[in-house]
Structure 1
Amino acid sequence: MAEQYTQVSEFDEKVIQISRVSKKTKGGSKMGFSVLMVVGDRKGKVGVGLGKAKDVMSAIQKGIKKAKKHLITVPIDGTTIPFRVLMKKGAGQVLLKPAPKGSGVIAGGPVRAVVEAAGIRDISSKILGTQNQASNVYTTFAALTQISQIVKLKNISLKSLAQVESEEVAKMTEEQKRLSGVSQTAVEKPAKRVVAKKKTGITKKKSTKK
C-alpha cells in the first residue's frame, strides 16, 4: 500500500492507493492516475476522496479537495468509539469495536488509516469481507458515518448513549430468559394433554362394549 504523510493547515493527508487508469477516446487511449486520499484533523473530523488526473500530483490535490468536501465529525468517547458497529458496503464488511484506554489501534492498513486520521487512539477492528484496500477504506468511513448519525438522531450525550445501550442489553437478556422459560412449559403442556385424551378414549370404548 502506497502511503505518504503530509500536513497542510490543521489536516493530516494520507495517500492510500495510487492506480494507473486509461480512458479510451476517438484519438486513442489516454493514460492517467487515480489516487485515493484520507484526510483528518485527528480531533474527530475525517474524510475520504478519490482524485483522477493525468499526473499523480494533480490527482492527489483533487483527492484532497474531494475528501475535505465530504468531512464528517466522529463522536469519540475518550479515546475510542462509543459503541460497536458492523458495516457492509458492496464487497467490503468491517467490524469496529470500542477498546479500553491504552489498547491502541488494532486494525489493518486501510481501517487504521481512517480511524487514526479521525483521532481514534483505541479501537479493535476486523475485516470480514474483501481485502481490497479502497473498498475497506470506504466501508470504514461508512461505519464512522453511521456512528455519527446515530448519535445525532438520538440527540443524547455519549455517556447517556452508553447507559442506554447497557440497559437495552440487560432487557434483552431478561427477555431471552423469560422466553426460554415459556418455551419449556409450552413443550411440557401438550404432552400431558395427549396422554389425557388417550385415557378418555380407552374408557369410552370399554363402555360401548358393555
Structure 2
Amino acid sequence: MPISMHPDEWRDRWKQNRIGFHEPTVNPYLCRYLPEFNLNQGDTIFLPLCGKAHDIAWLAQQGFQVVGIELSEIAIVSFFSEHGLTYQQSESKRFILRKSGNISLIQGDYFDLQRQDLSACKMVYDRASLIAIDAASRGRYCTHMLSIIPQITDQLLITLDYDQAQMKGPPYAVSTSEVGQHYNSEYSINRLEQNDVLDERPRWRDQGLTRLTETVFILNGKKA
C-alpha cells in the first residue's frame, strides 16, 4: 500500500479492481537476476507490499520460502484463489497469517513487522514497494526495512524515475542517488540495468510524461 495513502483508500482500490500496478506475469528481472543471489532451496525471500504478485508463486516453485506482507485481504485471498491453493489461517494481535506450503502471506501493516518476523530472511525482493511510497515517507520505510531484516540481507530492487512534476504518483519517482541516500550506509549498491520504458506505458506518456526510466539494483549487505 502506498504509505501516503489512507488504508481504506488502498482497500477500495482492490475492491474496485483499480490495480494497474499488478503485473500479469512473473517479472523478467526477477527471473534474470535471481541466480546472482546464490541462494539455497529453502531460503526465505521477503516481498514487502506484495499484492497478489505472480512472483510469489514462481519463487515458491523454485523451492524458496516466500514471506509477503500486504494490507489488503482481497489481494491475499485472490492470490491463493487464482493459483488454486488452499491455506491455513491464524491470527495474532498484529497480523492475520495465511499459509500454504512454502508461501506465507501476512495481512497487516508493514510498519508493525518486527525483526523476529523475518529472522530467517536471506533476500528482499522489492519490485514496487519503494516506488509506492511518497518522498516524505521513504526514509522511514527504508529505516524500518533495515531494522527488521538480518544485517547481511541482499536486495533486488526495481525503481522508476521520471520528472515528478509531470505526474503525481504513485508510483513515485526514485532516482539512483536517492537509493544511495537511503541505503549506502548498509549496502554496496550495484546498478544492473537502466532502461527507457516510456513506450511501454502509453497511458502515462499521454498524461504528459516525457521520460521514464526503470532501474534494477542489487544491494549487497555490508559485513560488520
Q: Same fold (TM over 0.5)?
A: no
Q: TM-score range by the shorter chain?
A: under 0.3
Q: TM-score, normalised by structure 2?
A: 0.22
Structure possessing the higher radius of gyration over alpha carbons:
1
Which structure is higher in helix share? 1
Q: TM-score, normalised by structure 1?
A: 0.23
**Relative contact order (C-alpha < 8 Å, sep 6+): which is higher?**
2
